[in-house]
Amino acid sequence: MIVVIADDFTGAAELAGLGLRHGLTVELDIEGVWSTGADLLVVATDTRSKILAEALQELQTLSAKITEQKPLWIYKKIDSVLRGHIIEETQSLVESLNMKGAIIVPANPALGRVIIDGIYYIDGKPLQSTSFSEDPEFKISSSMVANLLNRNGATPRFEIRKPEGFQEKQGIIVGEASTSGDLDIWAEKAGPEWLLAGAAGFFEALLSHHGMPSVNGNNTFGLPETARTLYLCGSTFQGSRDQVAEAYYSSPNVCFMPEDIFWKRRGYENEIQDWIHKVISTIEHYNKAIIAVREPVIPEPSKSNWIKHNFAVIVKEVFKRTRIEELVIEGGSTASAVLNNMGLTRLVPLHQFQQGVIRMRVENIAGLNLTLKPGSYKWPETVWNF
């Protein structure tokens, strides 16, 4: 068995999808480790959005349970653009799992995300110049990898190395990569005594290196046309917001969060029931409804948490009052808030629409499927059809 510990939900789903692509049986568990016969067990946490002390405590508990599974190797899925408590969480796992050290390769050249000479680039632009600079939880204020990993201050020591500069010694190594070939080199250097960590690209290189080549393609059929489908779109990523805006002007399916709720104005509680009724009415008339935010991006954690809270409340109420067959969510922290509020804990990946966009069966609710994507990815036409 291979075990993945992901620091957010969509990252967990992305690696579950890669497991399917490589012919593995896969199970995805939410903040827990269960006995399973799957080839790949993916554990989805939400440590990226938690304060450091809470994140480390959760990882300590998980590491003991993971050791009991006796995995062949363990992978720590992190955010590809280095949001979160990456070095601290990695060091904690190295110590609790009694590993020699860690090799972290965050870059994903297939998506235009590369690290060259200590600088992070996306499609040729320094990371700080992209829309990630407006992230409400982890504002990107530098393109230098060392600065991004040191954002918390006193972090454990790490070294940034090129593939050819790797040396066998204890500690945390952050690997540069600008091509898929670089990922392959890092995969060859990664022995069982190392904790392996990074984005989806490094994980896929490791699967291939361990004799598990890609055998399955992407699903091209899309969601069932007549299925009652609820979309949650709360990403600050401009590409996702543009897709919602286009849907609003071309269809009757978009149910924006009322302004009074967004700004938490006096009497906003009265708007919540109206919003719930609008979502239900839209679902029942058109089979599809989109819950989204129209207001400008406010790069503050408190606003992001307020949006996620209300999404979680609305979804639970909608499920109580009408039938939903397909739940479609963008953003890992949003997905965690919704699923935790509904008590959903175990998922079985069914297929991948494209990398990062995964459809899964929800074990807790008969007849319900869940499709997820990271907030910074655009929806494929097979899923987003308005």
pLDDT digits (tens, 9 = 90+) for 272-301: 999 999 999 999 999 999 999 999 888 888
| Residues 307, 179 within the same domain | no
Same domain, 175 and 30: yes
pLDDT the model gives residue 87: 95
Looking at the predicted structure, is the pLDDT value of residue 31 above 70?
Answer: no
3 state DSSP class of 351: strand
Least confident range from 37-41, 63-67, 179-183, 196-200: namely 63-67
Considering the domain boundaries, does residue 385 fall inside one? no
Same domain? 186 vs 283: no
Residues 171 and 264 occupy one common structural domain:
no
User: Residue 95: which pLDDT band, with cuts at 50, 70 and 90?
Assistant: very high
Q: Indicate the pTM of the whole model.
A: 0.84
- Say whether both 118 and 53 belong to one domain: yes
Among left, alpha and beta (phi > 0; psi -120 to 50; other), residue 163 is alpha
In this predicted structure, what is the pLDDT of residue 49? 85
Write the CA distances from 328 to 95, 225, 233, 261, 291, integer angstroms: 37, 14, 9, 22, 10
Q: Are residues 253 and 193 in the same domain?
A: no
- Residue 115 phi/psi, 5° resolution? -125, 120
Q: Which of 158, 178, 209 is the last residue of a domain?
A: 209
Q: pLDDT by residue (tens digit) across 141-182?
A: 899 999 999 976 756 789 999 998 887 778 999 999 999 999
- The alpha carbon torsion through 98, 27, 233, 50 (nearest 10 deg) reads -20
Domain span including residue 266: 229-344+356-373
Q: Looking at residue 367, what is its pLDDT?
A: 93
**What whole-number percentage of the chain has pLDDT above 70?**
98
- Report whether 314 contacts 276 (CB < 8 A): yes
Helix (H, G, I), strand (E, B) or coil at 175: strand
The answer to whether residues 149 and 264 belong to one domain is no
Residue 145's nearest CA partner among 111, 172, 167, 171 is 172
Residues 237 and 360 in one domain: yes
Are 237 and 201 part of one and the same domain? no
What is the CATH number for 105?
3.40.50.10840
Residue 35 has a pLDDT of: 64
Whether pLDDT at 216 is above 70: yes
Both 174 and 270 in one domain: the answer is no
- Residue 211 pLDDT: 94
Closest CA to 384 of 260, 240, 279, 174: 240
E-strand ranges in 211-364 read: 229-233, 254-256, 288-292, 326-330, 346-354, 357-362
Are 73 and 148 part of one and the same domain? yes
- CA separation for the pair 369, 229 (Å, rounded): 10
Indicate the residue among 179, 209, 239 that finishes a domain: 209
CATH code for position 280: 3.40.980.20
The pLDDT confidence band at residue 66, using thresholds 50, 70 and 90, is confident
Number of independent structural domains in the chain: 2
pLDDT number for residue 326: 97
Domain membership flag for residue 141: yes
Is 89 a domain residue? Answer: yes
Query: How does the average pLDDT of the chain come out, rounded?
Result: 91
Q: Is residue 137 part of a domain?
A: yes
Are the C-beta atoms of 373 and 357 separated by less than 8 Å?
Answer: yes
In a domain, 351, yes or no: no
Q: Are residues 130 and 264 in the same domain?
A: no
Overall average pLDDT of the 61-83 stretch: 90
Least confident of 33-42, 73-82, 235-244, 309-318: 33-42
Q: Is residue 235 part of a domain?
A: yes
When pLDDT is cut at 50, 70 and 90, the band that residue 65 belongs to is confident
Q: Within a domain: residue 380? A: no
Alpha helix (H) residue ranges in 165-298: 180-189, 200-209, 238-250, 259-262, 269-286
Q: What percent of the chain has pLDDT above 90? A: 67
Inside any domain, residue 48? yes
Distance CA 2, CA 66 (A): 10
